[in-house]
Structure 1
Amino acid sequence: MIEISKAAIAEIARMRSVRDRLDSKLRIGFNSGGCESFYYTIDLADAIESTDCVCEVDGISVVIDRQHLAYLDALKLDYAEDLMGGGFRFENPIATTVCGCGNSFAIATVESERWQLPT
């Protein structure tokens, strides 16, 4: 299950309000690239694809593609503002290395035939 801090919940609510998409779900994923092997993606989603899993976390519908689920299942999402600006912070217990920015990471392959890293 994904954990979302109160600060992240407040930022998600602000994003929904600014974009006038109050019923949108939160889509979390990752792509290849960044300083390490992968970087996190986060956006508002209005549509749910057939390959998506949806769960409710603290009143927020979170959408994750099934291929990403095993790699994001225990993710902790926070939001913080500092001298460099505001942004979401990710804490992933299965990340083997994390870039200084916190958005780029590497992970070991999850031992399962069900889950494969997207290419």
Structure 2
Amino acid sequence: MGAILQITAAAAAELGRQASVAGTPGLMHLDLQHGHCEKHVIRLQPGHLSGRPVARADGVTLHAPEPQIELLQGLTLDYRSDISGGGFLILSSDQVRCCACGSAFSRH
């Protein structure tokens, strides 16, 4: 499997933690919802709900629906936390515009 989506070490650690807590060690699912500030918002859930693997890091496999795979191509998923909480972020590239929230994006 070639990685469609890159996962930072921080994101892999949090994905692994969430999957384990949910009772689905090593399995997470990402899908895109319609956003308000940008076109797409990421939603992450434990388990393998549908689709195919798009990334694997540190023992966690992330799946996504087949129709959304092209939109994920070349993106990087990161996780940031501080004393007020944490969240997953999409790191932008030249072809992607990210919202200030970090979890919403649009392709140019």
Structure 2 length normalisation: TM-score?
0.79
* Pairs aligned (count): 103
Q: Tell me, yes or no, if structure 1 residue 35 matches structure 2 residue 34.
A: no
Query: Residues 55 and 63 of structure 1 are in contact (CA less than 8 Å); yes or no, is this contact kept in structure 2?
Result: yes
Cα RMSD for the two superposed structures = 1.9
Structure 2, gaps ≥5 residues long: none
Bigger Rg over Cα: 1
Structure 1's consecutive aligned runs of 4 or more residues displaced over 6 angstroms after TM superposition are: none
SS for the counterpart of 1:42 is: strand
Q: Structure 1 residues 56 and 99, CA, compared in 2 at 3 Å: closer, same or farther?
A: closer
Residue identity over aligned pairs, in percent, reads 25
- The equivalent residue for 1:5 is 8
- The equivalent residue for 2:56 is 57
1:56 Cα shift? 4.9
Deviation sequence 1:22-52 (CA, Å, 0-9, x none) = 25x221221112212221111112343xxx2
Q: Structure 1 residues 101 and 69, CA, compared in 2 at 3 Å: closer, same or farther?
A: same
Q: How does 1:1-119 map to 2 (within 5 A)?
A: 1-23=4-26, 25-48=27-50, 52-58=51-57, 59-93=59-93, 94-95=95-96, 97-108=97-108
Equivalent AA in structure 2 for residue 89 of structure 1: L
Equivalent AA in structure 2 for residue 54 of structure 1: P
Structure 1, gaps ≥5 residues long: 109-119
Q: Distance in 2 between matches of 1:98 and 1:56?
A: 20
